[in-house]
Amino acid sequence: MNWIIAFPELVLTLCGLVILTVGVVQKKSTNPFAACSMLTIAAFAITGFLVTVSPDGSGYEHVFVNDGFARFMKVLSLIGGALATIMTLSYRGTSGGGRFELPVLILFSTIGTMLMASSDNMMTLFVGLELSSLAIYILCAFDRDSVVSSESGLKYFILGSLASGLLLYGISLTYGYGGTMEYGAIRTVLIQSGGASLGLMLGIVFLIAGLAFKLSAVPFHMWTPDVYQGAPTPVTAYLAGAPKIATFALILRIMAGPFGALAPQWQLLIEMISVLSMVFGSLAAIPQTNIKRLMAYSSIGHMGYALMGLAAATPGGIRGTLVYLTTYLFMNVGVFAGIAAMRRKGHETTDIADLSGLGRTSPGLALMMAIFMFSMLGMPPTAGFFGKLMVFSAAYGAGLYGLLAIGAITSAIGAYYYLRIVKVMYFDASAPAFDTRSPSLAFLSVSMGIVTALFVLVLGPVTSAAQAAASALIG
């Protein structure tokens, strides 16, 4: 029994249980929130280290696999979880004060994302996805006294259940027509039979639909704006990071692995989803007045770009998607750190108009936000440029010129609303200044700003790691 390959997950789970116990047995007078958050961050750090040294292999009766791809995705997930936890340090709900369940739930959700990255079987796919999602449902509604937060949690739960149903149906179709749920076995069956039956293809469609929901890719995106807007800001930041990366891990793994032989069939579907996401994400963001909602549409668009790499169905495309997700993770956390810093007299404000004149009232924050916006729109030499460059060149290499053209056009449209934020910050009449930023948010926005602006320095290592991950998946 090769149980050691899941050692990082086991350690993180144990840490989660311990932190939960520690948190709950405290006296009423002490608030264990800060301590639990720090412990969670430490747990993420330890797990991250363990992931990097964990061995390759498959185990637990072929439900769990650990390889270069899984490690890459797990490290990204852990980084996403850790950054979101750092952001929660300054979080104050409507009723004031943080509750220690927030970091613990992020931790549990992250375990789910790690499981997704390591899934080698439809079982682990579903269990990991649900573990991650259930924690997020609670997280979304975490601000119990806020109506919008409860609304976002409820909406995400109901629509998420529907998506889980689609996913399960897809899994059962796959199992029914493929005869197995193991990725490797499905692959063998497909190669031997020389093609898929219609039932199996339908199963793939349902699988894609279920996963596209988690990616908030059009047309399964409808929940995104409401949930992003209603959920507490650190949760939104988490939601846009680790779970999406893990879902990409799943979709990349099953599309490249078991269904790799069917690429010509599913490529068209991924292209459609990618095009729709890019177009809808860039268009619907234009009239938005709330920055969190705007970021929701932005994230829809970004998922479309990341899917371009998958649509190419080449190692280069997968590498492009991985680099894209890496850059997106950092700039996204940076933006949400900036949004979390938008507080006046202790109250969160999320209107774009509230950013007016930020360049004068808070030049440091404005500069960081400007860097993130330029990166989001893909301006060289920021991080976002390299991600876009790689997926675009992969699409070009695969001959997907139409996709490429639409990507370019929607990037141009997207530039409008990103630059509008920059314009509001630097050219509009000043609104009252925000409260002083907490150290954790300042740390996050500055460090993410540095990473985003100077991404070119780590581009080499990141690209080669992504290359190794992609070849672990396909090669």
Comparing CB distances to other proteins, the nearer of 199 and 364 is 199
Report the first-to-last Cα separation within the chain, whole angstroms: 26
Comparing CB distances to other proteins, the nearer of 126 and 223 is 223
Comparing CB distances to other proteins, the nearer of 412 and 456 is 412
Comparing CB distances to other proteins, the nearer of 162 and 472 is 162
Comparing CB distances to other proteins, the nearer of 1 and 429 is 1
Comparing CB distances to other proteins, the nearer of 280 and 392 is 280
Residue 243 C-beta: closest distance to other proteins, Å: 18
Residue 263 C-beta: closest distance to other proteins, Å: 13
Residue 328 C-beta: closest distance to other proteins, Å: 22
Residue 464 C-beta: closest distance to other proteins, Å: 35
Comparing CB distances to other proteins, the nearer of 10 and 446 is 10
Residue 53 C-beta: closest distance to other proteins, Å: 23
The label of the residue with tokens 């979101």 reads: 84
Q: What is the CA radius of gyration of the chain?
A: 21
Comparing CB distances to other proteins, the nearer of 45 and 286 is 286
Residue 156 C-beta: closest distance to other proteins, Å: 10
- Is residue 194 within 8 A of residue 123, CB to CB? The reply is no
Residue 293 C-beta: closest distance to other proteins, Å: 9
Residue 163 C-beta: closest distance to other proteins, Å: 7
d(C-alpha 250, C-alpha 256), whole Å? 10
Instruction: List interacting residues with other proteins (CB under 8 A).
Output: 1, 3, 13, 17, 20-21, 24-25, 155, 158-159, 162-163, 166, 198-199, 201-202, 205-206, 208-209, 213, 218-220, 222-223, 225-226, 265, 268-269, 272-273, 280, 283-288, 413
- Is residue 285 within 8 A of residue 298, CB to CB? The reply is yes
- Is residue 85 within 8 A of residue 40, CB to CB? The reply is yes
